[in-house]
Chain A
């Protein structure tokens, strides 16, 4: 049996399969479908310092092989998470990682500080790439300077594993990756959604209340694989790859491109048990190829 364990910073994952923030709720939504303990980690819904109601309906539009969303970080705030959600989900036999979002550097730092105190919270994922909130989020992730600045500030406040989630809506994602690595990130996760839009041709109105939204699903996969490969060639920190993964074959492709771990996102909506199927598929692939550990496959695309 091949070894599936991987390491991201100080964080040990029992396997490289995790679930992407915003597609997996707090894990509890999926407990009827899978054993949550069989996942490497669960990245829970984007959490902000204050509660947020999110954007108006409609927030979703189906597109060929994917979907647009403009949820806008609806969540009950970090205090609610700490007091009401964490006590339930800390019992899962997996790593719980909170995706931290904010509008100002102070917000990010204050939220990270509150999470740093939790025993069973081994890491956070800093979301500097949400395309659906006007006042912040993605704006931090589109310049090297602001990405480094927010990463450095949170690095000082949060002693555990710090993962920074990158936006693909940039000219050079590897430059941003280098900037956050230089500012102390232990890992980068990529990609968040691509900014997109869709129009109802009968009403001539945008399909989303916010006009634009984030595109996800299998349609973005080839671009995401390319970006992972570019970042793999630019930084030393481990990469958590994502973008349209809907099968174990897709997961292997992301690992070959340079991902140490992967996140399954939008496809959880279609097949709520897909993440566990991907764990099994990776294991069989490694055995079939006589690869002792999944670590030996990372970035091993042949040229």
Chain B
């Protein structure tokens, strides 16, 4: 973990809510190896009502270009300020934080299920699986077509299936209703997105005896295990999502009780 100033290399609006922000260390120092599932804590400047840092998952790293990618959704004043940063602006970041998704030792049939901005860490995970020579499938869900983010990036690493609630893109409905779940047999599911979606995915995985990891987005203050605010109730008791997570095997969680 370290605290470092980053320069915004580019900030692209993907739809009316989400931006893809690419940053690089301001002092030029090389980025360390990071793992999918890990996150960063961004300091928001010039905003008296925003006191705490904002946790954001790592969307991708480009170690050649020395770039860190982040998908940021405008949900309040803090994320709004981050999304309004321009090329050349700086942001102070604590990174990398948290644990990561587990990468199977041997090629297995994996499905990565994401909803909305929750797809962010799954792109980085897909890339890592692909680098291992595996070919994951992706199932991305949203309310409408514009909610499906970074489609062409995902397609580099595997087959992509989509659902939208209004039927404007892919199959109509929720991710857990997609026909690919009937068609293919999976050994491992990774999921990140809104909690109701992840709970539905966890129930599906559990009832079909598929191993499953979920990445949680609990409210947090510090991000490195000091404040004990972001706890999740697990079979081991209350644990910090920021240090023991954000990725949990669903068997550790109490969602299915």
Contact = CB atoms under 8 A, between A and B. Distances in A.
Contacts of A217: 51
Given A29-B224, A32-B2, A54 B48 contact: no
Contacts of B224: 29-30, 272
Contact of B221 (A25, A65, A69): A69
Nearest to A218: B51
A214 to B, nearest CB: 12
B219 interface: yes
A64 B3 contact: no
A78 B1 CA distance: 29
A59 B233 CA distance: 12
Contacts of B129: none
B45 to A, nearest CB: 11
Interface in B207-257: 218-233, 237-238
Contact of A269 (B219, B226, B233, B238): B226
Contacts of A29: 222, 224-226
Contact of B43 (A56, A57, A270): A270
Interface in A206-246: 217-218
Interface string A63-78: 1111101010010000
B222 A268 contact: yes
A272 B3 contact: yes
Contacts of A218: 51
A67 B53 CA distance: 12
B33 to A, nearest CB: 16
B221 A53 contact: no
A30 B94 CA distance: 12
A153 interface: no
Contacts of A65: 48-49, 51
Residue picked from A61, A266, A269, most chain B C-beta under 10 Å? A269
A139 to B, nearest CB: 22
Contact of B220 (A53, A60, A272): A60
A273 B226 CA distance: 13
Nearest to A54: B238
Contacts of B52: 62, 67, 269-270
A35 interface: no
The B contact surface, by secondary structure, is: loop
Interface of B: 1-3, 43, 48-53, 94, 218-233, 237-238
Given A33-B1, A74-B231, A272-B94, A25 B51 contact: no
20 contacts: A22-B227, A29-B222, A29-B224, A29-B226, A59-B231, A60-B219, A60-B220, A62-B51, A67-B221, A69-B229, A71-B228, A74-B231, A74-B238, A268-B222, A268-B226, A269-B223, A270-B52, A271-B3, A272-B224, A273-B3
A57 B48 contact: no
Given A269-B52, A270-B52, A59 B225 contact: no
Given A33-B2, A268-B226, 8 more contacts: A32-B1, A53-B238, A62-B51, A65-B48, A65-B51, A71-B229, A270-B53, A272-B224
A271 B94 CA distance: 9
A247 interface: no
B228 A74 contact: yes
A23 B227 contact: yes
B227 A69 contact: yes
A182 interface: no
Nearest to A65: B51
B51 A63 contact: yes
A87 interface: no
B229 A60 contact: yes
Interface in A108-122: none
Contacts of B237: 53
B226 A60 contact: no
Nearest to B53: A270
Contacts of A159: none
Interface in A16-34: 22-25, 29-30, 32-33
